[in-house]
Structure 1
Amino acid sequence: MARLDYSAPGVYIEEVNRGSRAIEGISTAIAGFVGFTEDVRNGAEVFKPILVTNWSQYLKYFARPNSDGYTDFNAYLPHAVNGYFLNGGGRCWIVSIGTQLPGTPKPTALEPATVKINSRGNRASLIFNLRPEQAIGGPIEILVSDGSPRPLPEGTEGEAPANTGEYFTLQIRRGEDILEQYENLTMNSEVQPQVGNYAMAALRNSMYVTVVEASQAGRPLARRPVNGQYELAPPIIPSTPDRFARDVEGLRDDRTGVRGLFEIDEITMIACPDLMRGYEAGLMTLEQVHGIMELMISMCEGSTSGDIPNPPNRMVLFDPPPDRVKPQEVVDWLNNFNRRSMFAALYYPWVKVANPRNAGRPILVPPCGHMMGVWGRIDETRGVHKAPANEVPRGVIGLGYDINFREQELLNPLGINCIRNFPNRGIRIWGARTLVEPEATEWRYISVRRLMSYIERSLELGTQWVVFEPNDAETWARVRRNVSVFLERIWREGALFGATAKQSYYVKCDAQINPPETRMLGRMYIEVGVCPVRPAEFVILRISQWDPSASEDAAA
């Protein structure tokens, strides 16, 4: 780095950075889901988003122990998330809006406020229950670890008690805080006080839990609880029907619901499959469903315009209502919703998948989760500029309605992306449009909208170094190099149209667009123009009869 003063004679070495700073492309396929789950445990909280990277991790947070993760009331979120991962989706954030439909009777299954810890013989050893007065404090954790018998008092002669392996230590924690700790525990009810503590007698004084000994048969070593960390969470209180719509919407400051999901900067695509489950169950009217859909669109648009301080690179995926099965019904519903946006996409019809809770028999579910998984797969294998269409959605065994060519002629111009079943080609996604107004042709395609969002967000993050730099010609030149290198890279990947780089993009940052009056205000303007590739949605083969002899006569 150059020095600003040279006081003593000598030779000085300076390292000068002549190159441009590389702009790294952002992740484009990180999903956000809102819906019902079977359980909420291991640190996950109701209505608050949590990161999940695979199906096993989903089961850790949202399934009961040794469960398949689906629900007895056919919530759509588990099917959507599984379809997302099955189709190539990666990271996603999930907001659970409860473990049962509001207004339904409480399940007769084991309450989450109870945890059973097995012995080494895989039989129940201890059963812990959270004291009711502690439920408001949130979940606690029970940690079982190796222990030892009580050592002889200092100065006492004799042989120390043998460590038979039956002793253990038990901690009760909340977060990083140790609430209670019990040492020298054993399942031997006749243990001598100078050697150890009978676990049931010691834990009887706990302020946080009550404990039941599952069995007194067998040796203490065989009945010793297995080491591990066990969560004891208060019962999940379901939302009431009159509050359900507000809870789904959530609060930005509390990071809950749909609004909380929008506060996660890395999320780029969002869906709420159980909006339709709430509508089916009578928890929400169609107008309330439209209200949540409108909120999702408005937050995407507000982020782009700068009205909402969130990243401007989100899209939302919608599903038609379950009682709108035929094409004309979907068209009428969409006209009734009457909201258009380049940041929304709609897929139709619903898809059939296997339902593990019904012996693998088919169940119709919203297609949004499977579609977002395909988006992620295409981003990974081809790039965000490739339209996520003419692809096979994995895990789909049928469709809720078999669309034909004439029916798609009605749906496609309205931005309704069809999923169709083709003879000998299988089920394929046969649409790649946004829900933008028909006349806004420049934003007609999903791939164009997402490519522009990718470029905008990448440039926003990749030019942060410019802030507080001198607003002069040298900085302008570095900015032009910086941005041009990034755009040339994505042009070479096939994301921009043009035989040469100059035909594909331009970058302008000079005195013409940064005159003295704007520099006085501390502003630097960078103008970027790109020519995105668009999908070949209509392939026209022009065929005619050709007479080669007539052509030769004409040439002569």
Structure 2
Amino acid sequence: MARLDYFAPGVYVEEIDRGSRPIEGVQTNIAGFIGFTEAIRNGAELGKPMLITSWNQYMEYFARENSDGFTDFNAYLPFAVNGWFLNGGARCWVVSIGTSLPKTAEETIQPGTESTALTIRTNGKRESLQFILKPEEAENGSVSVEIQASEPKSDPEDPNVPAPVPAEFFSVVIKRDGEELERHEHLTMDREVQSVVGDYVVTKLEESQYVMVTDLTQKGLPLARRPQDGQFEVSPPPTLPTQENLARYVQGVRDDRSGIQGLFEIDEVTMVACPDLMRAYQAGLLNEDQVHGLMELMVSLCENSAPNPPNRMVVLDTPPDRIKPQQVVNWLDDDFSRRSMFAALYYPWIKVPNPRNAGKPILVPPCGHMMGVWSRTDETRGVYKAPANETPRGVIGLSYDCNFREQELLNPKGINCIRTFPNRGIKIWGARTLVEPEKTEWRYISVRRLMSYIEKSIELGTQWVVFEPNDQDLWARVRRTVSNFLERLWREGALFGASPEQAFFVKCDETLNTPDTMILGRLYIEVGVCPVRPAEFVIFRISQWNGQDEQ
């Protein structure tokens, strides 16, 4: 708006903000996973979401040193996350609910009796020193261990003793929250060092109040065995869940940003899965009702995102003891009995190589691989393309080969089949939500996710409208902003229609915004879109023609 305070004659140059502000589409392919991991380290916390951008980064937070990232007890989460990245997933959040299958409270080792070890390597990537937080310090939280260059105390008096190599000496500084707690100078890996020259690191750190140290080296020169410089964290072990409270750990606490509820506090997450619900069920840690309760929680959290538009979907897995199609239908109809446009279900389980068993196949839930295909489809085609008729990567077989007649039983129920076809391999052969059958407008995953994408993009892209003067000029600017965004979607093929007028409408005028509503400070905009839908049934009608009959 122009200034109103011109007093002196002259030339005034003013910048005027005109035109509509473009709406940028939100990202739709960010996943959230909950389950068991091999370790929790490098700043990751039990039950708290951690951002992961690659499989290597997953191993930094949730695998032991030099590990492949999987577990000895065959947790399904590592397979799901690995399948996510294999199939084109980029960014995801991971919540670890433990590093082992929970035991009873009496058998579970809690902080104070053991600690989490930190291994520091040499510059040659060999193991050098291992630090452990002392049990009495576990309740006070983690400490940082800083390795710095140092020097010998002095040269040896004996002329027959070789002069020390300064580069082999180092110091260890113990800190907590940036405050220095201890400093140990003139340290070396030489077990026979003279006291006038320096101190053997293990012997010297026996004086430490905070950490215990172990020499992992066997032989070699002290310089070659010296730990690399840097700052490292020594963490106390997490408070592990027990059989009695596992369901509560998985559910989490919203205020603590933990578990399932904590994952749903991450605004950017758009798809969620908890593959280890089935691992806990197999191990007898959760019964079927508890599993259904946690699945219901995830579905309900996807539905209830007020006041923001719902933009998440949960990918569910069938129980491992429901192998045949009729068993899966009976489970969905009679046992779980939950329908929602924000949920998807895939069948059967998939076979993938198990690195912990010499690469032999293991059956795992398909949720992680399916979500990876969703992400890949979003990137290559768009969120409006149904994530089906795609080959899931990393899959070498299925737990059950479903045929055409069996899929006729499953597909109307919203159960998406993964099938094997001759000469075509394994294909995802379904793209439906678990919505009630009569709600045909929300039948397809791509339609539900496209609508969520449009709603969330408009919500974030029109924040500038708040507190603007509510008049005809604002109405026109809003119409133009939203129309430009929807026309761009139409040109990309996300909306159906021969023209923009057939594909969508945006209404914002005096019929919606009356004087009474404006007094209340409200601005109403109506938007209608016609999303494209997948050609699920391709029907050719073929008849004989003699060349003269009318077509």
1:244 corresponding residue in structure 2: 246
* From 126, 136, 140, the counterpart of 2:139: 136
1:516 corresponding residue in structure 2: 515
* From 273, 295, 298, the counterpart of 1:296: 298
- Rounded Cα–Cα distance in structure 2 between residues aligned with 1:419 and 1:177: 56
* From 270, 278, 284, the counterpart of 2:280: 278
- Rounded Cα–Cα distance in structure 1 between residues aligned with 2:409 and 2:124: 64
- What are the equivalent positions in structure 2 for 1:36-51 lying under 5 Å apart? 36-51=36-51
- Rounded Cα–Cα distance in structure 2 between residues aligned with 1:121 and 1:83: 32
Q: Which runs of 5+ in 1 are unaligned?
A: 153-160
Residue type at the aligned position of 1:526: I
1:150 to partner: Cα distance: 5.4
- What are the equivalent positions in structure 2 for 1:336-375 lying under 5 Å apart? 336-375=335-374
Query: Which secondary structure state, in structure 1, belongs to the residue aligned with residue 495 of structure 2?
Result: coil
1:18 to partner: Cα distance: 2.1
Aligned residues: 536
CA 454–230 in structure 1, closer or farther in 2 if over 3 Å, else same: same
2:86 corresponding residue in structure 1: 86
* From 180, 183, 193, the counterpart of 1:181: 183
Q: Deviations over 1:463-520 (max 9, x none)?
A: 0001111111111111111111111111111000001111111111121111110110
- Rounded Cα–Cα distance in structure 1 between residues aligned with 2:349 and 2:126: 44
2:130 corresponding residue in structure 1: 127
- What are the equivalent positions in structure 2 for 1:310-389 lying under 5 Å apart? 312-335=310-333, 336-389=335-388
- Rounded Cα–Cα distance in structure 1 between residues aligned with 2:215 and 2:543: 87
Residue type at the aligned position of 1:261: L
- Rounded Cα–Cα distance in structure 2 between residues aligned with 1:387 and 1:53: 24
1:410 corresponding residue in structure 2: 409
1:391 corresponding residue in structure 2: 390
CA 7–64 in structure 1, closer or farther in 2 if over 3 Å, else same: same
1:431 aligns with 2:426: no
CA 498–216 in structure 1, closer or farther in 2 if over 3 Å, else same: closer
My pick for the range that moved more, 476-485 or 448-457, is: 476-485
CA 511–61 in structure 1, closer or farther in 2 if over 3 Å, else same: same
- Rounded Cα–Cα distance in structure 1 between residues aligned with 2:124 and 2:92: 38
- Rounded Cα–Cα distance in structure 2 between residues aligned with 1:399 and 1:124: 41
Query: Which secondary structure state, in structure 2, belongs to the residue aligned with residue 549 of structure 1?
Result: coil
- Rounded Cα–Cα distance in structure 2 between residues aligned with 1:198 and 1:403: 66
TM-score by length of 1: 0.92
CA contact (8 A) 1:480 1:507 kept: yes
- What are the equivalent positions in structure 2 for 1:458-473 lying under 5 Å apart? 458-473=457-472
1:373 to partner: Cα distance: 0.1
CA contact (8 A) 2:479 2:507 kept: yes
Percent of aligned positions that are identical: 66
Q: Which runs of 5+ in 2 are unaligned?
A: 156-162
CA 16–114 in structure 1, closer or farther in 2 if over 3 Å, else same: closer
Q: Deviations over 1:2-27 (max 9, x none)?
A: 22311112222222222211111000
CA contact (8 A) 1:34 1:95 kept: yes
Residue type at the aligned position of 1:252: R
Query: Which secondary structure state, in structure 1, belongs to the residue aligned with residue 368 of structure 2?
Result: helix
1:3 corresponding residue in structure 2: 3
- Rounded Cα–Cα distance in structure 1 between residues aligned with 2:180 and 2:476: 57
CA contact (8 A) 1:75 1:277 kept: yes
1:551 to partner: Cα distance: 4.9
CA 183–310 in structure 1, closer or farther in 2 if over 3 Å, else same: farther
Query: Which secondary structure state, in structure 1, belongs to the residue aligned with residue 459 of structure 2?
Result: helix
- Rounded Cα–Cα distance in structure 2 between residues aligned with 1:115 and 1:51: 22
1:155 corresponding residue in structure 2: none
CA 221–424 in structure 1, closer or farther in 2 if over 3 Å, else same: closer
1:156 corresponding residue in structure 2: none
Residue type at the aligned position of 1:441: T
Query: Which secondary structure state, in structure 2, belongs to the residue aligned with residue 32 of structure 1?
Result: strand
Query: Which secondary structure state, in structure 1, belongs to the residue aligned with residue 294 of structure 2?
Result: helix
1:491 corresponding residue in structure 2: 490
- Rounded Cα–Cα distance in structure 2 between residues aligned with 1:218 and 1:369: 45
Residue type at the aligned position of 2:139: I
1:112 to partner: Cα distance: 5.5
- Rounded Cα–Cα distance in structure 1 between residues aligned with 2:318 and 2:73: 20
1:297 to partner: Cα distance: 1.1
- Rounded Cα–Cα distance in structure 1 between residues aligned with 2:313 and 2:277: 17
Query: Which secondary structure state, in structure 2, belongs to the residue aligned with residue 57 of structure 1?
Result: helix
Query: Which secondary structure state, in structure 2, belongs to the residue aligned with residue 173 of structure 1?
Result: strand
2:159 corresponding residue in structure 1: none
Q: Deviations over 1:395-444 (max 9, x none)?
A: 11111111111111111111000111111111100110000000001100
* From 269, 272, 275, the counterpart of 2:271: 269
1:171 to partner: Cα distance: 2.1
Residue type at the aligned position of 1:321: P
1:256 corresponding residue in structure 2: 258
CA 373–124 in structure 1, closer or farther in 2 if over 3 Å, else same: closer
- Rounded Cα–Cα distance in structure 1 between residues aligned with 2:51 and 2:6: 53
Query: Which secondary structure state, in structure 1, belongs to the residue aligned with residue 548 of structure 2?
Result: helix
- What are the equivalent positions in structure 2 for 1:531-542 lying under 5 Å apart? 531-542=530-541
CA 373–175 in structure 1, closer or farther in 2 if over 3 Å, else same: farther
CA 70–444 in structure 1, closer or farther in 2 if over 3 Å, else same: same
My pick for the range that moved more, 15-24 or 375-384, is: 15-24
CA contact (8 A) 2:150 2:169 kept: yes
CA contact (8 A) 1:112 1:232 kept: no
